Amino acid sequence: MIPETEWQEEISSSIRNIDELAQRVQLSIADLDTNKLLSNINPEDQHTKFPLRVTESYLRRVEVGNSKDPLLLQILPTATENLHQTGYSLDPVGDCSAQKQDGVIQKYHGRALLITTPACAIHCRYCFRRHYPYSENRISDTNLAEAIEWIKEEKSLNEIILSGGDPMMLSNQRLFRVIDSIAEIPHIKTVRIHTRMPVVLPSRIDDMLIDRLSQLNINKVVVIHANHPNEINSEVESALLRIKQSGTILLNQSVLLKGVNDSASTLKQLSLRLFDAGVIPYYLHTLDRVVGSHHFEVRDEIAVKIIKTLSSQLPGYLVPKLVREIEGESEKCAVEFSLTR
């Protein structure tokens, strides 16, 4: 058996139990219930189907004793996840309808996305793929060759995006088996990795990963996902700077979340922290309306006011684009709203 690395050991010891989580953040179950953050669990509840999972590294950044901590709110199952809301669906961005074959999604011209794994280091409660049918719709060791052949035939493609789940949950060996296969295709000029691992488990950014990234003779982009400045501590900053030093472009995409980052001051600090770590804040997504996430939604008029305030306080390159993903559209759609309405 191959020995576990440090980061894999931390994955194995992730917190997956509400009682343990409550103890670690010094909040009783009664405290959490009082704040409507928790309900009795039954097998039909959405949060049972999408269970709690958080790394030790991420949990250490949660403020002890604060039931409204913005990092805690992102990972704690809530009673409201089980309430039905009109306008919310299992596949809010049309992933399934855009599937070309097992594990291959194409929505936009020139690029395609590979679902590399269903696994993530933490379970974000607003995840738009929390109901995605991974068992039959992902890249595996057995169908990777078929996906590569499809990419070879699609000469209009110039960029491949690795997504999931989180691609960096794969071992370096498995991750670069996919990347190396893609990099050998002449018309593919860029490989992009969408990952939350540098933020939620910075130990994942190990020497072997950096060495392999450095050796790639192809454009490399890593898009991380950070929502709040408290997520970026010194360990995260160090991991991100290591990625940048490998010759990789670093971008961030955030989701605008009620109670987490729905203020200009929070997003300003996030942009500044990201830039210190070598990351450009690229997208600020409105909530993808997936079943179980409605309590995070921020109204468009509030979102636009936040961006307008942010634009008055930061240079343009530190202001993320406010966008929404709409099923069937050929691009991410800019969110615009007349404040005089």
Domains of the chain, by residue range, sit at 6-82, 96-334
Residues 264 and 232: beta-carbon distance below 8 Å: no
User: In the chain, what percentage of residues exceed pLDDT 90?
Assistant: 75
Residue 31 has pLDDT above 90, yes or no: no
Top pLDDT among 208 and 79 is at 208
Residue 43 has pLDDT above 50, yes or no: no
* 337 CB-near residues (< 8 Å, 6+ apart): 300, 301, 303, 304
Residue 22 has pLDDT above 70, yes or no: yes
Tens-place pLDDT, residues 133-167 = 887 777 887 889 999 999 999 999 999 999 999 99
Residue 341 has pLDDT above 80, yes or no: no
3-state helix, strand, coil in the chain (%, to 5): 40, 15, 45
Burial of residue 186 (number of CB atoms within 10 Å: 0-12, 13-18, 19+):
exposed
Q: Which helix (H) or strand (E) holds 305?
A: helix 300-313
Burial of residue 8 (number of CB atoms within 10 Å: 0-12, 13-18, 19+):
middle
Cα dist. 117→15, 46, 132, 281 in Å? 20, 21, 11, 25
Residue 293 has pLDDT above 90, yes or no: yes
Q: Which CATH superfamily is domain 96-334 in?
A: Aldolase class I (3.20.20.70)
Residue 328: per-residue pLDDT: 82
What ranges in 104-154 are assigned the alpha helix state H? Answer: 144-153
Tens-place pLDDT, residues 240-269 = 999 999 999 999 999 999 999 999 999 999
Mean pLDDT across 269-294: 97
Residue 29 has pLDDT above 80, yes or no: no
* 237 CB-near residues (< 8 Å, 6+ apart): 273, 276, 277
pTM here is 0.92
**Across the chain, what does the average pLDDT equal?**
91
Helix (H, G, I), strand (E, B) or coil at 290: strand
Cα dist. 296→116, 147, 301 in Å? 27, 35, 15
DSSP state of 63: P
Cα dist. 226→147, 185, 261, 262, 322 in Å? 30, 31, 10, 14, 15
Looking at residue 324, its amino acid is R
Reported as a pLDDT band with limits 50, 70 and 90, residue 310 is: very high
The count of other CB atoms within 10 Å of the CB of residue 257 is 24
Instruction: Please state the φ and ψ torsions of residue 148, each to the nearest 5 degrees.
Output: -65, -40
Smallest CA-to-CA distance from 132 within 141, 143, 123, 121 is with 123
DSSP state of 15: B
Residue 39 has pLDDT above 80, yes or no: no
Top pLDDT among 209 and 33 is at 209
